[in-house]
Amino acid sequence: MQVPEGEVTAWRQTYESLPQWLKDLYRWARYPEFRVRNRVARAMKRCSSDTDRLRLAEFLVGRQFPELFYGDGPKLWCRDAAFRDWYLRCVEPINMRSMERKWFIRELLKLVAHVPGDTAECGVYEGATSQLICEGTQRNCGKTHFGFDSFEGLSQPESSDGSHWSTGDLTAPQELATALLQPYRATLLKGWIPDRFEEVADRRFSFVHLDVDLAAPTRQSLEFFYPRLNPGGILVCDDYGYETCPGAYEACNTFFSDKGEPWIHAPTGQGFVIRQPD
């Protein structure tokens, strides 16, 4: 790709404005790891502001994982104390890896506030996202939430799923989800997808969250829930944009190849569709 002259100048201007220690690091970035490491250690000592520390973190991430990057920051939503507190209590006390996805679900739920229909999650695990869905949809309305999970982990991957997952990964005891969902109108249906779908066959839905990592249960969930999704309803696939879940990506795109709705591929890795009227 040819870079227009203006953009080269803009980058040079940005580069010139960097502190000298960061310029040095960029110069050293093409040297072998052990030679850069000393420089990084020295740079760490010289970081005296949040901006400098963020730049150093950005440099390190870029060096170790060239395809990853830091977005612009800091962002307002990261400072939402109540949400952070909920995440650390109910999702993951150590890392924040799925925090942006959880936040995005929370925001998408606002779009279905006036769409009639119940809610569902395929792949409940410990229940955190199901709880988020109940919390976001059950105030002042009569929606019921249905959660489907083997509670024995993943089923058998097929060839399109690649090699990342194995049968039985991500097993969680049902009691955790049951406890988290106890204050809500929520029913957990334990079993292998699609065995228990028939029990909600007469229902319509406004929000469905698919998070089963593999092609077969993703495909079966789409086949069941898409025709039952009300216009304006949203279907989210948590696994849509992950390199670890190629089968789920393929299942989503194949199923929608003859449907009118486009998949929206979010930068969080999730994909979602908004159901259009027939």
Ligand X SMILES: C[S@@+](CC[C@H](N)C(=O)[O-])C[C@H]1O[C@@H](n2cnc3c(N)ncnc32)[C@H](O)[C@@H]1O
Three-class DSSP category at 102: helix
Q: Using the minimum distance from each CB to ligand X, give the nearer residue, 36 or 149.
A: 149
List the strands of the sheet with 264-265, edge to edge.
Answer: 186-190, 145-149, 118-122, 205-210, 229-237, 271-274, 264-265
Which of residues 117, 136, 157, 217 is near ligand X by CB under 6 A? 217
Q: Using the minimum distance from each CB to ligand X, give the nearer residue, 25 or 212.
A: 212
| 142: CB partners within 8 A, 6+ apart | 185
Task: Give the span between the Cα atoms of 177 and 158, in whole angstroms.
Answer: 27
Q: Nearest 5°: phi and psi at 109?
A: -60, -30
Nearest CA among 254, 263, 260 for reference residue 277? 260
Which range of residues in 34-42, 43-51, 208-216, 247-255 is near ligand X by CB under 6 A? Answer: 208-216
Which of residues 40, 170, 266, 274 is near ligand X by CB under 6 A? 170
Which of residues 43, 86, 211, 275 is near ligand X by CB under 6 A? 211
Q: Using the minimum distance from each CB to ligand X, give the nearer residue, 4 or 173.
A: 173
Shortest distance (Å) from residue 211 CB to ligand X:
4
128 binding ligand X? (CB under 6 A):
yes
Q: Using the minimum distance from each CB to ligand X, give the nearer residue, 132 or 229.
A: 132
Which of residues 28, 77, 83, 192 is near ligand X by CB under 6 A? 192
Please say whether the beta carbons of 235 and 251 come within 8 A: no
149 binding ligand X? (CB under 6 A):
yes
| 199: CB partners within 8 A, 6+ apart | 189
Please say whether the beta carbons of 131 and 180 come within 8 A: yes
Q: What is the rounded (10 degree) CA torsion for 235, 241, 244, 246?
A: 80
Can you point out the beta strands (E) in 141-200? Answer: 145-149, 186-190
**Total residues contacting ligand X (rule CB under 6 A)?**
22
Please say whether the beta carbons of 206 and 230 come within 8 A: yes
Which of residues 108, 188, 200, 214 is near ligand X by CB under 6 A? 214
Task: Give the span between the Cα atoms of 135 and 182, in whole angstroms.
Answer: 12
Q: Using the minimum distance from each CB to ligand X, give the nearer residue, 36 or 150.
A: 150
Residue numbers 244-273 binding ligand X by CB under 6 A: none
Which of residues 144, 155, 187, 230 is near ligand X by CB under 6 A? 155
How far, in whole angstroms, is CA 22 from its chain's centroid? 32
129 binding ligand X? (CB under 6 A):
yes
Shortest distance (Å) from residue 99 CB to ligand X:
11
172 binding ligand X? (CB under 6 A):
yes
Residue with the closest Cβ to ligand X? Answer: 123
Binding site for ligand X (CB under 6 A): 121, 123-126, 128-129, 149-151, 153-155, 170, 172, 192-193, 211-214, 217
